[in-house]
Amino acid sequence: MISRRVLVGLAAGAAVGWPLTTQAQARDGMRRLGALMVDEDGPLGQTRAAALVQGLGALNWHGGGNLHIDWRWGGGDPALFGRYAAELVALSPEIVVAHGSPSVVALRRETSTIPLVFTGVGDPVGQGFVESLARPGGTITGFSAYDPPMAGKWLGMLTQITPPVARVAVLYNPATAPFAGLMLRVIEDAAPPLAVAVRAVPVRDVAEIEAMMMGLAREERGGVLVLPDSFAAAHRDAIIALAARYRLPAIYAYRYFAASGGLMSYGIEPNDLFRRAAAYVDRILKGAKPGDLPVQNPTKFELAINLNTAKALGVTIPPSLIAAADEVIE
């Protein structure tokens, strides 16, 4: 993890225009990039930002030399994404890296001309961000955070523990997870062969999360599946603590949930998306059109299991799942 001061120092500098700002910014040798991120203070936010900076550096875009990055952090608050999107657009960046669906939605309200390279978006076609994965069209392209088999695997892993989960609440915030319908359809299709009852539980604050978990704890063999969105990231400590309090096995999409006390996580390696996004930033700054750059799906996945949490919950993880894990926390 790196501090905000160090990060800003690493990232200072930026400029290639699109299209009116190019000449003015190129004259002083600076290219300008905006970045609308999710979580500044969490364990993932700083490492993601560092991965972007490092990826850019590998392509000879250096803070304080030829690149300036303006950072904004929306957390799990949709209103903040809107505010910071407006601030970034007012700074006239030549390109913006948009982390997550709320960032893209907010930026699209502010501009239709500045190129956007997104990371961590679940369903870019379904949300109307791009025309197709192969030919995005327009000014938006990027790196998806979702591969359809993931959702079925989340559910399957919950049924492999002992005792197996029989009722699963799928937790998400509709305001920050507009892609939830896509994932829910896959989860619901996977449920019957696994003999699992699934229900979607939209939540908007910690009180609603607790009410859901309290009710689920009264049922036999209940479990929680937390969809990946900025709300869950911002409230991860509360979600993990409530799952422990009500003794509910839960699976998450990001490794740091398991590292923070969650039972299991399976999903993408997020830093990889930011390193790959740097290559698209480089190509666009050198003249490529975003609409000609295909949206790329994730290629790296990781499974983490917290055996300490399993012991506290009174559940057993099968040896086959432990053997497949990238990280086992004991």
The model's pLDDT over 206-219, given as tens digits with 9 standing for 90+, comes to 999 999 999 999 99
Q: Nearest to residue 293, comparing CAs of 158, 115, 99?
A: 115
Q: What is the pLDDT of residues 15-30, one digit of tens each?
A: 333 333 333 344 467 8
Alpha helix stretches (DSSP H) within the chain: 4-11, 21-27, 43-58, 78-90, 101-110, 149-160, 180-194, 206-217, 230-234, 236-245, 255-259, 270-285, 307-313, 319-324
Q: Please name the amino acid found at residue 315.
A: V
**Residue 42 pLDDT grade (very low, low, confident, very high; cuts 50, 70, 90):** low
pLDDT at residue 64, as a whole number = 77
Query: β-pairing, 301-306 with 264-268?
Result: antiparallel
pLDDT of residue 14: 34
Choose among 155, 122, 174, 302: nearest CA to 224.
155
- How distant, in Å, are the alpha carbons of 38, 42, 54, 55 from that of 1? 15, 9, 13, 16
- Single-letter residue type at 13: G
Share of the chain above pLDDT 90, in %: 74
Summarised one tens digit per residue, pLDDT across range 317-328 is 999 999 999 999
Judge whether 24 and 16 are in contact, CB under 8 Å: no
Q: Who has greater pLDDT, 252 or 45?
A: 252
pLDDT band at 147 (very low <50, low <70, confident <90, very high): confident
Q: What is the pLDDT of residue 24?
A: 39
Question: So what's the pLDDT on residue 87?
Answer: 97
Under the banding of pLDDT at 50, 70 and 90, the label for residue 43 is low
- Specify the DSSP class assigned to residue 223: E
Whether residue 111 is predicted with pLDDT greater than 70 in this model: the reply is: yes
Q: Is 120 left (phi over 0), alpha (psi -120 to 50) or beta?
A: left
Average pLDDT over residues 254-269: 94
pLDDT at residue 315 in the model: 97
Q: Which residue has the tokens 């209103």?
A: 79
pLDDT of amino acid 40: 60
| Amino acid in position 295 | V
Q: Tokens standing for 191?
A: 């449920």
| C-alpha to C-alpha distances, 117 to 59, 168, 269, 323, nearest whole angstrom | 16, 34, 18, 36
Backbone angles phi, psi at 115, to 5 degrees: -65, 140
Cβ neighbours of residue 328 under 8 Å, at least 6 residues apart? 304, 305, 307, 322
Label residue 5 by pLDDT band (50, 70, 90). very low
**Which pLDDT tens digit goes with each residue over 278-300?**
999 999 999 999 999 999 999 89
pLDDT band at 128, cuts 50/70/90? very high
Torsion angle defined by CA atoms of residues 67, 77, 170 and 267, in that order, rounded to the nearest 10 degrees: 10
Distances (CA, A) of 253 to 52, 71, 261, 283: 21, 25, 14, 30
Cβ within 8 Å of residue 20, ≥6 positions away: none
Each residue's pLDDT tens digit, 63-82: 778 999 999 998 767 789 99
Instruction: Give CA–CA dist 58/2, Å, rounded.
Output: 18
Share of the chain above pLDDT 70, in %: 90
Mean pLDDT for all residues in the chain = 89
Query: Over 80: is that where the pLDDT of 33 sits?
Result: yes
CA distance 37 to 84: 10
Backbone angles phi, psi at 164, to 5 degrees: -70, 145
pLDDT at 58: 97
Q: Which residues contact 214 (CB under 8 A, 6 or more apart)?
A: 246
